[in-house]
Structure 1
Amino acid sequence: MKKQSISLYITITIIFLISNLLTAQEFKGIATYQTKTTLKLDNFGGRQLSEQQKKQMMERMKSSLEKTYTLTFTQSESMYKEDEKLEVATGGRGRGFMFGGGGSSGPVYKNIKEKQLTQEEEFLGKQFLIQDSLKPIQWKMGSESKQIGQYLCFKATASKPVEGFDWQRNRLGSDDENKDAEKATDSTSANKEVEEKEETPREIEIVAWYTPQLAVSQGPAEYWGLPGLILELSADNTTMLCTKIIINPREVEEIKPLSKGKVVTKEEYNEIMTTKMKEMREMYRQRRNN
Protein backbone atom coordinates (compact mmCIF):
# COMPACT_ATOMS: atom_id res chain seq x y z
CA MET A 1 0.00 0.00 0.00
CA LYS A 2 2.88 2.36 0.85
CA LYS A 3 4.65 1.63 -2.46
CA GLN A 4 1.39 2.23 -4.35
CA SER A 5 0.90 5.60 -2.64
CA ILE A 6 4.45 6.65 -3.51
CA SER A 7 3.96 5.61 -7.14
CA LEU A 8 0.70 7.52 -7.42
CA TYR A 9 2.32 10.58 -5.84
CA ILE A 10 5.19 10.44 -8.33
CA THR A 11 2.73 10.05 -11.20
CA ILE A 12 0.67 13.05 -10.14
CA THR A 13 3.81 15.16 -9.71
CA ILE A 14 5.12 14.26 -13.16
CA ILE A 15 1.75 14.97 -14.76
CA PHE A 16 1.56 18.36 -13.05
CA LEU A 17 5.05 19.43 -14.12
CA ILE A 18 4.75 18.25 -17.70
CA SER A 19 1.26 19.68 -18.13
CA ASN A 20 2.59 23.09 -17.15
CA LEU A 21 5.32 22.80 -19.75
CA LEU A 22 2.93 21.68 -22.50
CA THR A 23 0.51 24.55 -21.96
CA ALA A 24 3.33 27.00 -22.66
CA GLN A 25 3.59 25.85 -26.29
CA GLU A 26 1.55 24.23 -29.04
CA PHE A 27 2.14 20.53 -28.52
CA LYS A 28 2.03 18.04 -31.39
CA GLY A 29 3.35 14.55 -31.88
CA ILE A 30 3.52 11.55 -34.18
CA ALA A 31 3.57 8.00 -32.79
CA THR A 32 4.09 4.80 -34.79
CA TYR A 33 2.36 1.60 -33.63
CA GLN A 34 3.03 -1.97 -34.68
CA THR A 35 -0.09 -4.12 -34.29
CA LYS A 36 -0.27 -7.89 -34.21
CA THR A 37 -3.37 -10.08 -34.10
CA THR A 38 -3.17 -13.73 -33.09
CA LEU A 39 -5.52 -16.14 -34.80
CA LYS A 40 -6.20 -19.76 -33.83
CA LEU A 41 -7.09 -21.55 -37.03
CA ASP A 42 -8.64 -24.41 -35.03
CA ASN A 43 -11.40 -22.00 -34.03
CA PHE A 44 -12.17 -21.29 -37.68
CA GLY A 45 -12.64 -24.85 -38.87
CA GLY A 46 -8.94 -25.49 -39.34
CA ARG A 47 -8.50 -28.62 -37.23
CA GLN A 48 -8.42 -30.78 -40.32
CA LEU A 49 -5.37 -28.89 -41.65
CA SER A 50 -1.85 -30.15 -41.12
CA GLU A 51 0.66 -28.02 -39.21
CA GLN A 52 2.43 -27.21 -42.48
CA GLN A 53 -0.84 -26.08 -44.07
CA LYS A 54 -1.62 -23.90 -41.05
CA LYS A 55 1.83 -22.35 -41.24
CA GLN A 56 1.40 -21.57 -44.93
CA MET A 57 -2.05 -20.07 -44.34
CA MET A 58 -0.78 -17.86 -41.49
CA GLU A 59 2.06 -16.65 -43.73
CA ARG A 60 -0.44 -15.64 -46.42
CA MET A 61 -2.54 -13.82 -43.80
CA LYS A 62 0.44 -12.03 -42.27
CA SER A 63 -0.28 -8.71 -44.00
CA SER A 64 -3.77 -8.72 -42.46
CA LEU A 65 -2.61 -9.76 -38.98
CA GLU A 66 0.48 -7.52 -38.68
CA LYS A 67 0.11 -3.85 -39.54
CA THR A 68 1.70 -0.44 -38.92
CA TYR A 69 -0.35 2.58 -37.87
CA THR A 70 0.44 6.25 -37.30
CA LEU A 71 -1.15 8.33 -34.55
CA THR A 72 -0.90 12.08 -35.15
CA PHE A 73 -1.97 13.90 -32.00
CA THR A 74 -2.34 17.14 -30.09
CA GLN A 75 -3.75 17.60 -26.61
CA SER A 76 -7.30 17.78 -27.98
CA GLU A 77 -7.30 15.91 -31.34
CA SER A 78 -5.82 12.79 -32.92
CA MET A 79 -5.86 10.83 -36.16
CA TYR A 80 -5.04 7.10 -36.20
CA LYS A 81 -4.65 5.43 -39.59
CA GLU A 82 -2.87 2.55 -41.24
CA ASP A 83 0.34 3.32 -43.09
CA GLU A 84 -0.03 3.03 -46.83
CA LYS A 85 1.94 0.26 -48.50
CA LEU A 86 2.01 -1.59 -51.78
CA GLU A 87 -0.23 -4.63 -51.75
CA VAL A 88 0.31 -7.82 -53.72
CA ALA A 89 -2.40 -8.12 -56.37
CA THR A 90 -5.19 -10.37 -55.09
CA GLY A 91 -7.95 -9.56 -57.55
CA GLY A 92 -9.73 -7.27 -55.13
CA ARG A 93 -9.37 -4.33 -52.79
CA GLY A 94 -10.33 -3.31 -49.31
CA ARG A 95 -8.87 -3.25 -45.83
CA GLY A 96 -10.12 -6.67 -44.80
CA PHE A 97 -11.53 -7.64 -41.41
CA MET A 98 -10.27 -7.16 -37.89
CA PHE A 99 -10.51 -10.49 -36.06
CA GLY A 100 -11.51 -9.58 -32.53
CA GLY A 101 -11.98 -6.41 -30.51
CA GLY A 102 -8.51 -4.94 -30.83
CA GLY A 103 -9.07 -1.98 -32.99
CA SER A 104 -10.25 -0.66 -36.32
CA SER A 105 -9.24 -1.28 -39.92
CA GLY A 106 -10.23 2.24 -41.04
CA PRO A 107 -8.85 5.66 -39.94
CA VAL A 108 -10.13 7.02 -36.61
CA TYR A 109 -10.42 10.72 -35.67
CA LYS A 110 -10.91 11.68 -32.02
CA ASN A 111 -11.67 15.10 -30.57
CA ILE A 112 -11.40 14.93 -26.80
CA LYS A 113 -12.51 18.50 -26.24
CA GLU A 114 -15.72 18.07 -28.25
CA LYS A 115 -16.13 14.37 -27.25
CA GLN A 116 -16.39 13.48 -30.94
CA LEU A 117 -15.34 10.33 -32.83
CA THR A 118 -15.31 9.99 -36.63
CA GLN A 119 -14.32 6.78 -38.36
CA GLU A 120 -14.17 5.55 -41.97
CA GLU A 121 -14.90 1.88 -42.63
CA GLU A 122 -15.20 -0.12 -45.84
CA PHE A 123 -17.46 -3.16 -45.55
CA LEU A 124 -18.37 -5.49 -48.42
CA GLY A 125 -17.45 -2.85 -50.99
CA LYS A 126 -19.40 -0.01 -49.35
CA GLN A 127 -17.85 3.05 -47.67
CA PHE A 128 -19.28 4.15 -44.31
CA LEU A 129 -18.60 7.25 -42.23
CA ILE A 130 -19.22 6.51 -38.56
CA GLN A 131 -20.01 9.62 -36.53
CA ASP A 132 -20.51 9.12 -32.82
CA SER A 133 -19.76 10.53 -29.41
CA LEU A 134 -16.43 9.68 -27.82
CA LYS A 135 -17.50 7.30 -25.10
CA PRO A 136 -15.52 7.23 -21.83
CA ILE A 137 -13.60 4.10 -20.86
CA GLN A 138 -13.86 3.03 -17.21
CA TRP A 139 -10.15 2.58 -16.53
CA LYS A 140 -8.84 0.98 -13.34
CA MET A 141 -5.53 2.59 -12.47
CA GLY A 142 -2.72 0.38 -11.24
CA SER A 143 0.64 1.02 -9.59
CA GLU A 144 2.57 -1.48 -11.73
CA SER A 145 5.10 0.17 -14.05
CA LYS A 146 7.57 -0.69 -16.80
CA GLN A 147 9.90 1.03 -19.23
CA ILE A 148 8.94 1.32 -22.91
CA GLY A 149 11.83 2.89 -24.75
CA GLN A 150 12.79 6.04 -22.85
CA TYR A 151 9.37 6.41 -21.23
CA LEU A 152 8.21 5.21 -17.81
CA CYS A 153 4.76 3.67 -18.22
CA PHE A 154 2.01 2.73 -15.78
CA LYS A 155 -0.60 0.00 -16.15
CA ALA A 156 -4.35 0.54 -16.46
CA THR A 157 -7.07 -2.03 -17.18
CA ALA A 158 -10.66 -1.98 -18.38
CA SER A 159 -13.28 -4.26 -19.89
CA LYS A 160 -15.94 -3.70 -22.51
CA PRO A 161 -18.43 -5.72 -24.57
CA VAL A 162 -17.55 -6.64 -28.14
CA GLU A 163 -19.41 -4.38 -30.56
CA GLY A 164 -20.68 -5.53 -33.93
CA PHE A 165 -20.04 -9.01 -35.33
CA ASP A 166 -18.06 -11.12 -32.87
CA TRP A 167 -15.57 -13.16 -34.91
CA GLN A 168 -14.58 -15.31 -31.95
CA ARG A 169 -18.15 -16.32 -31.17
CA ASN A 170 -19.73 -16.37 -34.65
CA ARG A 171 -17.37 -18.20 -36.98
CA LEU A 172 -18.33 -19.34 -40.43
CA GLY A 173 -18.14 -23.11 -40.45
CA SER A 174 -16.09 -23.36 -37.24
CA ASP A 175 -15.58 -26.65 -35.44
CA ASP A 176 -17.49 -25.34 -32.41
CA GLU A 177 -20.43 -24.36 -34.59
CA ASN A 178 -20.47 -27.78 -36.24
CA LYS A 179 -20.41 -29.50 -32.84
CA ASP A 180 -23.30 -27.33 -31.65
CA ALA A 181 -25.27 -28.32 -34.72
CA GLU A 182 -24.59 -32.01 -34.08
CA LYS A 183 -25.79 -31.73 -30.49
CA ALA A 184 -29.02 -30.02 -31.51
CA THR A 185 -31.94 -32.35 -32.36
CA ASP A 186 -33.36 -30.11 -35.10
CA SER A 187 -32.75 -26.82 -36.93
CA THR A 188 -35.16 -24.92 -34.67
CA SER A 189 -33.29 -25.81 -31.49
CA ALA A 190 -29.98 -25.11 -33.23
CA ASN A 191 -31.08 -21.62 -34.22
CA LYS A 192 -32.41 -21.03 -30.69
CA GLU A 193 -29.05 -21.93 -29.18
CA VAL A 194 -27.24 -19.57 -31.55
CA GLU A 195 -29.66 -16.71 -30.85
CA GLU A 196 -29.31 -17.13 -27.07
CA LYS A 197 -25.54 -17.21 -27.44
CA GLU A 198 -25.54 -13.97 -29.44
CA GLU A 199 -27.87 -12.04 -27.11
CA THR A 200 -25.19 -11.51 -24.46
CA PRO A 201 -22.14 -9.65 -25.83
CA ARG A 202 -18.77 -11.16 -24.97
CA GLU A 203 -16.64 -9.05 -22.65
CA ILE A 204 -13.02 -8.39 -23.60
CA GLU A 205 -10.22 -7.35 -21.25
CA ILE A 206 -8.09 -4.32 -22.09
CA VAL A 207 -4.60 -3.74 -20.70
CA ALA A 208 -2.97 -0.38 -21.40
CA TRP A 209 0.44 1.07 -20.57
CA TYR A 210 0.55 4.89 -20.58
CA THR A 211 3.29 7.42 -19.87
CA PRO A 212 2.69 10.60 -17.84
CA GLN A 213 5.85 11.96 -19.48
CA LEU A 214 3.61 12.73 -22.47
CA ALA A 215 0.58 14.23 -20.72
CA VAL A 216 -1.97 13.86 -23.51
CA SER A 217 -5.10 11.76 -23.06
CA GLN A 218 -4.65 10.03 -26.42
CA GLY A 219 -4.06 6.49 -27.64
CA PRO A 220 -4.35 4.16 -30.65
CA ALA A 221 -7.68 3.42 -32.38
CA GLU A 222 -10.67 4.45 -30.21
CA TYR A 223 -8.74 4.21 -26.92
CA TRP A 224 -8.14 7.30 -24.79
CA GLY A 225 -8.86 8.76 -21.34
CA LEU A 226 -5.63 8.11 -19.40
CA PRO A 227 -3.33 10.79 -17.89
CA GLY A 228 -0.68 10.14 -20.53
CA LEU A 229 -0.16 8.79 -24.04
CA ILE A 230 -0.92 5.06 -24.36
CA LEU A 231 2.24 3.36 -25.66
CA GLU A 232 1.06 -0.25 -25.48
CA LEU A 233 -2.40 -1.78 -25.47
CA SER A 234 -3.76 -5.32 -25.60
CA ALA A 235 -7.42 -5.94 -26.35
CA ASP A 236 -8.78 -9.43 -26.96
CA ASN A 237 -6.37 -11.02 -29.47
CA THR A 238 -4.67 -7.81 -30.70
CA THR A 239 -1.63 -6.00 -29.31
CA MET A 240 -0.62 -2.45 -30.28
CA LEU A 241 2.92 -1.33 -29.42
CA CYS A 242 4.37 2.13 -29.98
CA THR A 243 7.80 1.83 -31.62
CA LYS A 244 8.59 5.48 -32.43
CA ILE A 245 7.59 8.93 -31.18
CA ILE A 246 8.40 12.35 -32.66
CA ILE A 247 7.48 15.36 -30.52
CA ASN A 248 6.79 18.71 -32.21
CA PRO A 249 7.97 17.64 -35.69
CA ARG A 250 8.76 20.35 -38.24
CA GLU A 251 6.14 19.01 -40.60
CA VAL A 252 2.95 17.36 -39.42
CA GLU A 253 -0.24 16.42 -41.27
CA GLU A 254 -3.25 18.53 -40.40
CA ILE A 255 -5.73 16.75 -38.15
CA LYS A 256 -9.34 17.11 -39.23
CA PRO A 257 -12.55 15.05 -39.09
CA LEU A 258 -13.04 12.39 -41.75
CA SER A 259 -15.68 12.95 -44.42
CA LYS A 260 -15.94 10.00 -46.86
CA GLY A 261 -18.80 7.51 -46.84
CA LYS A 262 -22.43 7.07 -45.88
CA VAL A 263 -23.01 8.71 -42.49
CA VAL A 264 -24.09 6.28 -39.76
CA THR A 265 -23.76 6.00 -36.01
CA LYS A 266 -21.61 3.30 -34.43
CA GLU A 267 -24.73 1.41 -33.39
CA GLU A 268 -26.17 1.57 -36.92
CA TYR A 269 -22.91 0.37 -38.48
CA ASN A 270 -22.63 -2.53 -36.02
CA GLU A 271 -26.20 -3.55 -36.84
CA ILE A 272 -25.52 -3.46 -40.60
CA MET A 273 -22.33 -5.50 -40.22
CA THR A 274 -23.91 -8.07 -37.89
CA THR A 275 -26.95 -8.52 -40.13
CA LYS A 276 -24.85 -9.05 -43.26
CA MET A 277 -22.51 -11.50 -41.55
CA LYS A 278 -25.46 -13.49 -40.20
CA GLU A 279 -26.86 -13.67 -43.74
CA MET A 280 -23.51 -14.94 -45.03
CA ARG A 281 -23.34 -17.51 -42.24
CA GLU A 282 -26.85 -18.75 -43.01
CA MET A 283 -25.97 -19.08 -46.71
CA TYR A 284 -22.90 -21.09 -45.73
CA ARG A 285 -25.00 -23.41 -43.56
CA GLN A 286 -27.51 -23.99 -46.35
CA ARG A 287 -24.78 -24.84 -48.85
CA ARG A 288 -23.17 -27.12 -46.31
CA ASN A 289 -26.45 -28.96 -45.62
CA ASN A 290 -27.20 -29.32 -49.32
Structure 2
Amino acid sequence: MRSTILKFLGIIIILAFTKPEEVQQFQGKAIYFSKSKMELGRWGARMSEAQKKQIKARLKNRLEKEYVLNFNKKESYFMEEEKIDAISGATDSWGKNFSQGNQYKNVQDNELVQSQEFYGKRFLVKDKLQKIDWKIEKESKKIGNYLCFKATATIPSKELTWYDFAWSDLRKAEKKKDSLGNDIEPQIEMTKVEAWYTPQIPVSHGPGEYWGLPGLILEVTAGNRVMLCSKVVINPKDKIEIEAPEKGKEITKLAYQEVIKGKMIEMRNNRGRRRR
Protein backbone atom coordinates (compact mmCIF):
# COMPACT_ATOMS: atom_id res chain seq x y z
CA MET A 1 0.00 0.00 0.00
CA ARG A 2 2.86 2.37 0.86
CA SER A 3 4.53 1.78 -2.52
CA THR A 4 1.25 2.55 -4.28
CA ILE A 5 0.94 5.87 -2.45
CA LEU A 6 4.55 6.79 -3.27
CA LYS A 7 3.95 6.06 -6.96
CA PHE A 8 0.81 8.21 -6.90
CA LEU A 9 2.70 11.10 -5.25
CA GLY A 10 5.46 10.78 -7.83
CA ILE A 11 2.92 11.21 -10.64
CA ILE A 12 1.55 14.37 -8.98
CA ILE A 13 5.06 15.85 -8.65
CA ILE A 14 5.80 15.16 -12.33
CA LEU A 15 2.58 16.88 -13.38
CA ALA A 16 3.36 19.90 -11.17
CA PHE A 17 6.63 20.52 -13.03
CA THR A 18 5.21 19.90 -16.52
CA LYS A 19 5.51 22.96 -18.75
CA PRO A 20 2.21 24.53 -20.00
CA GLU A 21 3.19 24.04 -23.66
CA GLU A 22 3.86 20.33 -23.00
CA VAL A 23 0.42 19.95 -21.45
CA GLN A 24 -1.14 21.71 -24.45
CA GLN A 25 0.55 19.35 -26.93
CA PHE A 26 -0.14 16.19 -24.94
CA GLN A 27 -2.20 13.69 -26.94
CA GLY A 28 -2.64 10.00 -27.34
CA LYS A 29 -4.51 7.04 -28.79
CA ALA A 30 -6.06 4.09 -26.94
CA ILE A 31 -7.40 0.86 -28.47
CA TYR A 32 -10.29 -0.88 -26.66
CA PHE A 33 -11.76 -4.34 -27.07
CA SER A 34 -15.41 -4.72 -26.06
CA LYS A 35 -17.16 -7.98 -25.26
CA SER A 36 -20.80 -8.52 -24.28
CA LYS A 37 -22.54 -11.62 -22.95
CA MET A 38 -25.37 -12.95 -25.09
CA GLU A 39 -28.73 -12.49 -23.35
CA LEU A 40 -31.43 -14.77 -24.78
CA GLY A 41 -33.97 -14.31 -22.01
CA ARG A 42 -36.86 -16.78 -21.88
CA TRP A 43 -36.15 -17.89 -25.46
CA GLY A 44 -32.81 -19.35 -24.39
CA ALA A 45 -34.51 -22.04 -22.29
CA ARG A 46 -36.14 -23.46 -25.45
CA MET A 47 -32.92 -23.63 -27.48
CA SER A 48 -30.39 -26.41 -27.82
CA GLU A 49 -26.69 -25.73 -27.28
CA ALA A 50 -26.15 -26.02 -31.04
CA GLN A 51 -28.77 -23.32 -31.69
CA LYS A 52 -27.18 -21.04 -29.09
CA LYS A 53 -23.75 -21.45 -30.71
CA GLN A 54 -25.22 -20.66 -34.11
CA ILE A 55 -26.85 -17.46 -32.83
CA LYS A 56 -23.68 -16.46 -31.01
CA ALA A 57 -21.66 -16.87 -34.22
CA ARG A 58 -24.20 -14.79 -36.14
CA LEU A 59 -24.12 -12.03 -33.51
CA LYS A 60 -20.34 -12.03 -33.10
CA ASN A 61 -19.99 -8.56 -34.66
CA ARG A 62 -22.46 -7.16 -32.14
CA LEU A 63 -21.02 -8.98 -29.12
CA GLU A 64 -17.33 -8.29 -29.84
CA LYS A 65 -16.15 -4.88 -31.03
CA GLU A 66 -12.96 -2.86 -31.28
CA TYR A 67 -12.77 0.91 -30.73
CA VAL A 68 -10.24 3.71 -31.01
CA LEU A 69 -10.12 6.67 -28.61
CA ASN A 70 -8.04 9.68 -29.69
CA PHE A 71 -7.53 12.28 -26.97
CA ASN A 72 -5.75 15.39 -25.75
CA LYS A 73 -6.12 17.21 -22.44
CA LYS A 74 -9.66 18.49 -23.06
CA GLU A 75 -11.06 16.62 -26.10
CA SER A 76 -11.57 13.04 -27.23
CA TYR A 77 -12.92 11.24 -30.30
CA PHE A 78 -14.29 7.70 -29.92
CA MET A 79 -15.10 5.48 -32.90
CA GLU A 80 -15.73 1.83 -33.72
CA GLU A 81 -13.44 -0.12 -36.02
CA GLU A 82 -15.88 -1.63 -38.51
CA LYS A 83 -15.49 -5.37 -39.15
CA ILE A 84 -16.82 -7.62 -41.90
CA ASP A 85 -19.16 -10.43 -40.85
CA ALA A 86 -17.11 -13.64 -41.09
CA ILE A 87 -20.19 -15.65 -42.07
CA SER A 88 -22.03 -13.42 -44.56
CA GLY A 89 -19.06 -11.33 -45.73
CA ALA A 90 -21.07 -8.14 -45.14
CA THR A 91 -21.44 -5.51 -42.48
CA ASP A 92 -24.27 -5.69 -39.94
CA SER A 93 -26.71 -3.22 -41.56
CA TRP A 94 -29.59 -3.80 -39.09
CA GLY A 95 -27.36 -3.53 -36.03
CA LYS A 96 -25.74 -0.39 -37.44
CA ASN A 97 -29.02 1.49 -36.96
CA PHE A 98 -28.69 1.04 -33.20
CA SER A 99 -24.93 1.08 -32.71
CA GLN A 100 -22.93 3.93 -31.24
CA GLY A 101 -21.76 6.48 -33.80
CA ASN A 102 -18.55 8.48 -33.78
CA GLN A 103 -18.45 10.45 -30.54
CA TYR A 104 -16.72 13.74 -29.67
CA LYS A 105 -16.40 14.78 -26.03
CA ASN A 106 -15.07 18.06 -24.65
CA VAL A 107 -14.65 17.66 -20.89
CA GLN A 108 -13.68 21.32 -20.45
CA ASP A 109 -16.85 22.67 -22.08
CA ASN A 110 -19.10 19.76 -20.93
CA GLU A 111 -20.02 19.04 -24.55
CA LEU A 112 -21.08 15.88 -26.39
CA VAL A 113 -21.38 15.70 -30.18
CA GLN A 114 -22.22 12.33 -31.71
CA SER A 115 -22.86 11.36 -35.33
CA GLN A 116 -25.70 8.84 -35.74
CA GLU A 117 -27.22 7.23 -38.82
CA PHE A 118 -30.73 5.83 -38.56
CA TYR A 119 -32.44 4.20 -41.55
CA GLY A 120 -30.57 6.31 -44.10
CA LYS A 121 -30.88 9.61 -42.21
CA ARG A 122 -27.90 11.29 -40.56
CA PHE A 123 -28.29 12.99 -37.20
CA LEU A 124 -25.90 15.16 -35.21
CA VAL A 125 -26.68 14.60 -31.54
CA LYS A 126 -25.57 17.56 -29.41
CA ASP A 127 -25.99 17.49 -25.66
CA LYS A 128 -24.30 17.86 -22.29
CA LEU A 129 -22.05 15.09 -21.02
CA GLN A 130 -23.75 12.60 -18.74
CA LYS A 131 -22.77 13.52 -15.17
CA ILE A 132 -21.26 10.55 -13.32
CA ASP A 133 -20.88 10.55 -9.53
CA TRP A 134 -17.83 8.35 -9.19
CA LYS A 135 -16.81 6.77 -5.91
CA ILE A 136 -13.05 6.22 -5.65
CA GLU A 137 -12.33 2.81 -4.13
CA LYS A 138 -9.18 1.53 -2.35
CA GLU A 139 -8.27 -1.26 -4.79
CA SER A 140 -5.51 -0.93 -7.38
CA LYS A 141 -4.08 -3.19 -10.08
CA LYS A 142 -1.83 -3.12 -13.12
CA ILE A 143 -3.26 -3.03 -16.64
CA GLY A 144 -0.36 -3.45 -19.01
CA ASN A 145 2.35 -1.07 -17.81
CA TYR A 146 -0.07 1.23 -16.01
CA LEU A 147 -1.00 1.36 -12.33
CA CYS A 148 -4.78 1.67 -12.15
CA PHE A 149 -7.25 2.56 -9.42
CA LYS A 150 -10.84 1.39 -9.08
CA ALA A 151 -13.91 3.65 -9.19
CA THR A 152 -17.61 2.73 -9.10
CA ALA A 153 -20.85 4.46 -9.99
CA THR A 154 -24.54 3.79 -10.58
CA ILE A 155 -25.91 5.32 -13.78
CA PRO A 156 -29.39 5.30 -15.40
CA SER A 157 -29.18 2.44 -17.91
CA LYS A 158 -30.77 4.41 -20.75
CA GLU A 159 -28.09 7.11 -20.45
CA LEU A 160 -25.48 4.50 -21.37
CA THR A 161 -27.35 3.12 -24.41
CA TRP A 162 -29.55 6.05 -25.52
CA TYR A 163 -28.75 5.30 -29.20
CA ASP A 164 -29.88 1.64 -28.89
CA PHE A 165 -33.33 0.02 -29.00
CA ALA A 166 -35.08 -3.09 -27.72
CA TRP A 167 -38.74 -4.01 -28.30
CA SER A 168 -39.13 -4.21 -24.53
CA ASP A 169 -38.49 -0.43 -24.47
CA LEU A 170 -41.92 0.13 -26.03
CA ARG A 171 -43.65 -2.01 -23.40
CA LYS A 172 -41.82 -0.23 -20.60
CA ALA A 173 -42.76 3.19 -22.00
CA GLU A 174 -46.49 2.40 -22.02
CA LYS A 175 -48.32 4.01 -19.10
CA LYS A 176 -49.71 1.62 -16.50
CA LYS A 177 -52.60 2.41 -14.15
CA ASP A 178 -52.93 1.81 -10.44
CA SER A 179 -56.15 0.63 -8.75
CA LEU A 180 -57.48 4.21 -8.76
CA GLY A 181 -56.80 4.72 -12.43
CA ASN A 182 -53.80 6.99 -11.96
CA ASP A 183 -50.74 6.72 -14.20
CA ILE A 184 -47.80 4.81 -12.72
CA GLU A 185 -44.47 6.26 -13.71
CA PRO A 186 -42.11 3.61 -15.12
CA GLN A 187 -39.22 2.69 -12.86
CA ILE A 188 -35.83 4.03 -13.90
CA GLU A 189 -33.45 1.12 -14.44
CA MET A 190 -29.92 1.64 -13.13
CA THR A 191 -26.61 0.04 -14.12
CA LYS A 192 -23.70 -0.53 -11.76
CA VAL A 193 -20.40 0.49 -13.33
CA GLU A 194 -16.89 -0.50 -12.34
CA ALA A 195 -14.01 1.45 -13.91
CA TRP A 196 -10.22 1.31 -13.65
CA TYR A 197 -8.31 4.51 -14.41
CA THR A 198 -4.62 5.45 -14.42
CA PRO A 199 -3.28 8.81 -13.15
CA GLN A 200 -0.17 8.06 -15.22
CA ILE A 201 -2.18 9.33 -18.20
CA PRO A 202 -3.57 12.59 -16.73
CA VAL A 203 -6.75 13.10 -18.78
CA SER A 204 -10.41 12.78 -17.76
CA HIS A 205 -11.40 10.71 -20.80
CA GLY A 206 -12.64 7.18 -21.27
CA PRO A 207 -14.44 4.98 -23.80
CA GLY A 208 -18.06 5.66 -24.71
CA GLU A 209 -20.10 7.53 -22.12
CA TYR A 210 -17.46 7.17 -19.42
CA TRP A 211 -15.34 10.11 -18.32
CA GLY A 212 -14.63 12.36 -15.31
CA LEU A 213 -11.93 10.46 -13.41
CA PRO A 214 -8.41 11.79 -12.60
CA GLY A 215 -6.79 9.63 -15.27
CA LEU A 216 -7.58 7.77 -18.49
CA ILE A 217 -10.10 4.95 -18.00
CA LEU A 218 -8.53 1.70 -19.22
CA GLU A 219 -11.24 -0.79 -18.22
CA VAL A 220 -15.01 -0.59 -17.72
CA THR A 221 -17.54 -3.22 -16.69
CA ALA A 222 -21.21 -2.24 -16.98
CA GLY A 223 -24.00 -4.80 -16.94
CA ASN A 224 -23.10 -7.62 -19.34
CA ARG A 225 -20.44 -5.59 -21.18
CA VAL A 226 -16.69 -5.23 -20.57
CA MET A 227 -14.38 -2.76 -22.35
CA LEU A 228 -10.64 -3.23 -21.92
CA CYS A 229 -7.80 -1.14 -23.30
CA SER A 230 -5.27 -3.29 -25.16
CA LYS A 231 -2.87 -0.58 -26.33
CA VAL A 232 -1.99 3.05 -25.56
CA VAL A 233 0.24 5.33 -27.63
CA ILE A 234 1.22 8.66 -26.05
CA ASN A 235 2.29 11.56 -28.27
CA PRO A 236 2.51 9.55 -31.51
CA LYS A 237 4.78 10.78 -34.30
CA ASP A 238 1.82 11.64 -36.53
CA LYS A 239 -0.19 14.46 -34.95
CA ILE A 240 -3.76 13.53 -34.04
CA GLU A 241 -6.45 15.95 -35.20
CA ILE A 242 -9.57 15.92 -33.02
CA GLU A 243 -12.64 17.66 -34.43
CA ALA A 244 -16.34 17.36 -33.66
CA PRO A 245 -18.60 15.83 -36.35
CA GLU A 246 -20.49 18.48 -38.34
CA LYS A 247 -22.90 16.73 -40.73
CA GLY A 248 -26.45 15.76 -39.86
CA LYS A 249 -29.67 17.14 -38.45
CA GLU A 250 -28.98 18.65 -35.02
CA ILE A 251 -30.94 16.97 -32.24
CA THR A 252 -30.71 16.22 -28.51
CA LYS A 253 -30.36 12.74 -27.01
CA LEU A 254 -33.96 12.75 -25.78
CA ALA A 255 -35.30 13.87 -29.16
CA TYR A 256 -33.21 11.20 -30.91
CA GLN A 257 -34.74 8.53 -28.67
CA GLU A 258 -38.20 9.78 -29.70
CA VAL A 259 -37.23 9.44 -33.37
CA ILE A 260 -36.22 5.81 -32.81
CA LYS A 261 -39.34 5.09 -30.79
CA GLY A 262 -41.61 6.60 -33.47
CA LYS A 263 -40.00 4.58 -36.26
CA MET A 264 -40.25 1.30 -34.35
CA ILE A 265 -43.93 1.92 -33.48
CA GLU A 266 -44.55 2.56 -37.18
CA MET A 267 -42.83 -0.71 -38.11
CA ARG A 268 -44.81 -2.62 -35.48
CA ASN A 269 -48.12 -1.18 -36.70
CA ASN A 270 -47.30 -1.91 -40.35
CA ARG A 271 -46.42 -5.50 -39.46
CA GLY A 272 -49.72 -5.84 -37.59
CA ARG A 273 -51.70 -4.57 -40.59
CA ARG A 274 -49.99 -7.04 -42.97
CA ARG A 275 -51.08 -9.97 -40.75
CA ARG A 276 -54.77 -9.12 -41.06
How far apart are 1:171 and its partner, in Å?
A: 6.9
Greater relative contact order, per chain length (Cα 8 Å cut-off, separation 6+): 1
The answer to whether the aligner puts 1:135 opposite 2:130 as a matched pair is yes
Q: C-alpha separation between the residues in 1 aligned to 2:48 and 2:270?
A: 27
**Aligned residue in 2 for 1:74:** 72
How far apart are 1:228 and its partner, in Å?
A: 0.4
Query: CA distance change for structure 1 residues 229 and 165 in 2, over 3 Å: closer, same or farther?
Result: closer
1:165 touches 1:274 (CA, 8 Å); kept in 2?
no
Provide the secondary structure at the position in 2 that maps to 1:145: strand
**Aligned residue in 2 for 1:117:** 112
Amino acid in structure 1 at the alignment position of 2:41: D
1:14-53 superposed matches below 5 A: 14-20=10-16, 21=18, 23=20, 25=22, 26-43=25-42, 45-53=43-51
Q: TM-score, normalised by structure 2?
A: 0.81
Give structure 2 stretches of 5+ with no counterpart: 178-182
Find 1:62's aligned residue among 60, 63, 76.
Answer: 60
Q: C-alpha separation between the residues in 1 aligned to 2:139 and 2:46?
A: 42
Find 2:235's aligned residue among 224, 234, 248.
Answer: 248
1:15 touches 1:215 (CA, 8 Å); kept in 2?
no
Q: Let me know the Cα RMSD of the aligned residues.
A: 3.2
Q: C-alpha separation between the residues in 1 aligned to 2:7 and 2:54?
A: 46
How far apart are 1:271 and its partner, in Å?
A: 2.2
Provide the secondary structure at the position in 2 that maps to 1:53: helix
Query: CA distance change for structure 1 residues 11 and 140 in 2, over 3 Å: closer, same or farther?
Result: farther
Q: C-alpha separation between the residues in 1 aligned to 2:19 and 2:41?
A: 49
Query: CA distance change for structure 1 residues 10 and 122 in 2, over 3 Å: closer, same or farther?
Result: farther
How far apart are 1:134 and its partner, in Å?
A: 1.9
**Aligned residue in 2 for 1:192:** 176
Query: CA distance change for structure 1 residues 82 and 18 in 2, over 3 Å: closer, same or farther?
Result: farther
Q: TM-score, normalised by structure 1?
A: 0.78
The answer to whether the aligner puts 1:155 opposite 2:157 as a matched pair is no
**Aligned residue in 1 for 2:81:** 83
Give structure 1 stretches of 5+ with no counterpart: 99-103, 178-189
How far apart are 1:192 and its partner, in Å?
A: 3.3
**Aligned residue in 2 for 1:181:** none
